[in-house]
Amino acid sequence: MFFAATIIVIVAVSSTAWAEPMLIDDFKNTIRPEWEAKEFKGITRYEPVVEDGVPCLKAYAAGTASGLFYEINYDPQQQPILTWKWKIENIIENGDARTKVGDDYAARIYVVFPSIFFWKTKALNYVWANRLPKGEAVPNSYTSNAMMLAVESGAANTGQWIEYRRNIYEDYKKYFGSEPGKVGAIAVMTDTDTTGAKASACYGPIYIDAE
């Protein structure tokens, strides 16, 4: 699936630093109105549910690719930590982050660093990969402006809640080799349009923090 964030230009108008952790959403009872749907090919269904006692956003994709974007404006050097939890019901058998024909993910959360020139927009994509080993990262098969970071891989942990904590400031410097600009959006997407597969995932609470 072509890297979605490269066609979205987000213009920042103000910046806020938070002393306390910033909750993006905990998906309790509903989805916050700040989320905006972006359709790329068909509609992945997202709905708030409770799984194993955890309020979450459940995604269902069947040959579809759409995501939810939460526009925001902050300095990742001041608030570098992104935390979230998720689980998937199945991997995408033909998924392969290293190829265009395999560019589908049962679960991904990504951080968009916008530019007024859309071709300079960059993003860190934290994905549940299939063939790309856990801990490895590759440029997106369509654009080097998106890095695909396999925080999980394969079927071994399907059906289990897993929590993550990433320093997006350090990740950006490591994979793009420069200082990041402001963050313009946090996004989630379960997409299977390239492979035509079916996939389901649950996204738990998402936070931004200073440490």
Q: For the chain, report the end-to-end CA distance as a whole number of angstroms.
A: 33
> Going by C-beta distance under 8 Å and a sequence separation of 6 or more, which residues neighbour residue 155?
90, 91
* Average pLDDT value for residue range 118-147: 95
What's the rounded Cα separation, in Å, for the pair 16 and 195? 40
Does residue 179 sit in helix, strand or coil? coil
Q: Which two tokens stand for residue 190?
A: 């379960």
Report the chain's C-alpha Rg in angstroms.
16
DSSP state of 174: H
- pLDDT recorded at residue 5: 40
Q: Contact, 149 vs 140, CB < 8 A?
A: no
- pLDDT recorded at residue 32: 96
Is the pLDDT confidence value at 8 over 90?
A: no
How do residues 13-70 score in pLDDT, each as one tens digit? 334 444 578 999 999 989 999 999 999 999 999 999 999 999 999 999 999 999 999 9
DSSP state of 113: E
Residue in the structure block whose two tokens are 């982050």: 97
- Specify whether the backbone of 131 is left (phi greater than 0), alpha (psi in -120 to 50) or beta: alpha
Is the pLDDT confidence value at 207 over 80?
A: yes
Residue in the structure block whose two tokens are 């993003």: 123
Using CA atoms, how far residue 160 sits from 89, 90, 135, 190, 202, in Å, is: 9, 11, 18, 17, 10
Determine what percent of the chain is predicted with pLDDT higher than 70.
91
Nearest to 172 by CA among 76, 106, 45: 76
Other CB atoms within 10 A of residue 206 CB: 21
Domains of the chain are: 36-209 (2.60.120)
